């Protein structure tokens, strides 16, 4: 085999692996093995996390990256790694560890050093940042806040249906620490990567109408890798919001991501002998 046969899907904040349900069946129909690992403690269903969100509040980025790295390292060959929103940040951190044959980040949250903050992003995050006490809590969007931040191209009715099926709270510490403080603290923080280092090929996908992680954030993040010898490309979808992986027309995003990854993936080096 010359190309990866496995895709690892990394979900973002305010979400669980359920957010990938359509992509899992879509990629499996193409013959791929698909893994959608949960963050540590997120293995329960959406409804259980809503009832007891303390596991969300207590979660850390290093523990999450270690957990995902263990899942990927246990595979017999490097997979394609895809991440949405903060899952895009985690994907970049995993590639920086030398994991993956190729990476795709969709509407990615930034890694440390990306300082672009469009007005729509600040407004999207305001429900969490308006109260400093949320730094140590799990922070949920109301249906109206979710509609603005995630699903702004959908009707209010369709947005409410998405919120009811998929939305959970997010760790407030992550929003404060990596959305506000990381660029102003001395030394490297948890979301730092060496932008000049070599790694697997990486595609950034942005959405023209994305409010919470607008194209400007993704373009800036991609440009930070200008000194890396590794391939980095950017693709933008017109008219698509942050809910691009589930909103109507999501198949085009999924196919673009997989086709690019398989075309540009590093040659495979298996880590175990096949039986």
Domain positions in the chain are 6-264
Is residue 99 within 8 A of residue 73, CB to CB? The reply is: yes
pLDDT of res. 274: 37
pLDDT of res. 98: 97
The secondary structure of residue 161, as a DSSP letter, is H
Residue 179: pLDDT band (50, 70, 90) is confident
Q: Residue for token digits 């903060």?
A: 86
pLDDT of res. 54: 96
Q: What percent of the chain has pLDDT over 90?
A: 88
Is residue 163 within 8 A of residue 143, CB to CB? The reply is: yes
pLDDT of res. 269: 62
Alpha-carbon dihedral angle through residues 258, 233, 225, 204, given to the nearest 10 degrees = -50
Alpha-carbon dihedral angle through residues 189, 61, 255, 101, given to the nearest 10 degrees = 70
What does 48-78 look like in DSSP terms, one character per residue? Answer: HHHH-THHHHH--HHHHHHHHHHHHHTSSS-
pLDDT of res. 231: 98
pLDDT, mean over the chain: 94
Is residue 233 within 8 A of residue 182, CB to CB? The reply is: no
Quote the Cα angle for 146-212-259, to 5°: 105
- Report the pLDDT averaged over residues 214-226: 97
CA distance 243 to 248: 9
Residue 1: pLDDT band (50, 70, 90) is low
Q: Per-residue pLDDT tens for 93-105? A: 999 999 999 999 9
Q: What percent of the chain has pLDDT over 70?
A: 97
pLDDT of res. 182: 75
Alpha-carbon dihedral sign for residues 235, 37, 150, 116: negative
Residue 267: pLDDT band (50, 70, 90) is confident
Residue 270 pLDDT exceeds 80: no
pLDDT of res. 275: 31
Pick the CATH number of 6-264 from 3.20.190.10, 3.90.10.10, 3.40.50.1820, 3.40.50.300: 3.40.50.1820
Reference 87, options 143, 35, 131; nearest CA is 35
Q: What is the pTM of this model?
A: 0.95
Q: Per-residue pLDDT tens for 154-176? A: 999 999 999 999 999 999 999 99
Higher local confidence (pLDDT), 131 or 6: 6
CA distance 59 to 25: 29
Is residue 191 within 8 A of residue 178, CB to CB? The reply is: yes
CA distance 250 to 153: 13
Q: Per-residue pLDDT tens for 33-77? A: 999 999 999 999 999 999 999 999 999 999 999 999 999 999 999
Residue 139: pLDDT band (50, 70, 90) is very high
């Amino acid at each position: 085999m010359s190309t990866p046969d496995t895709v690892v899907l990394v979900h973002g904040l305010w979400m669980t692996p359920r957010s990938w349900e359509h992509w899992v069946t879509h990629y499996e129909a193409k013959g791929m093995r698909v893994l959608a690992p949960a963050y540590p403690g997120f293995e329960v269903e959406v409804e259980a996390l809503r009832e007891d969100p303390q596991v969300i509040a207590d979660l850390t980025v290093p523990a999450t990256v270690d957990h995902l790295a263990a899942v990927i390292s246990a595979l017999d060959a490097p997979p394609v790694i895809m991440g949405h929103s903060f899952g895009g940040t985690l994907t970049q951190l995993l590639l920086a560890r030398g994991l993956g044959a190729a990476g795709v980040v969709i509407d990615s949250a930034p890694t440390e050093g990306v300082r672009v903050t469009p007005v729509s992003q600040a407004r999207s995050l305001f429900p969490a940042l308006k109260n400093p006490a949320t730094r140590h809590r799990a922070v949920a969007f109301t249906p109206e806040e979710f509609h603005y931040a995630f699903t702004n191209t959908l009707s209010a009715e369709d947005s409410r249906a998405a919120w009811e099926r998929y939305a959970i709270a997010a760790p407030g510490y992550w929003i404060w620490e990596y959305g506000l403080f990381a660029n102003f603290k001395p030394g490297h923080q948890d979301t730092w990567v060496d932008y000049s280092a070599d790694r697997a090929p990486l595609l950034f996908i942005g959405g023209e109408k994305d409010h919470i992680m607008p194209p400007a954030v993704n373009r800036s993040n991609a440009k930070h890798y200008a000194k890396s010898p590794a391939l980095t490309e950017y693709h933008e979808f017109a008219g698509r919001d942050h809910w691009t992986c589930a909103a109507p027309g999501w198949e085009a995003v999924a196919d673009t991501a997989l086709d690019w990854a398989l075309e540009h993936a590093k040659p495979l080096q298996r880590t175990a002998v096949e039986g």
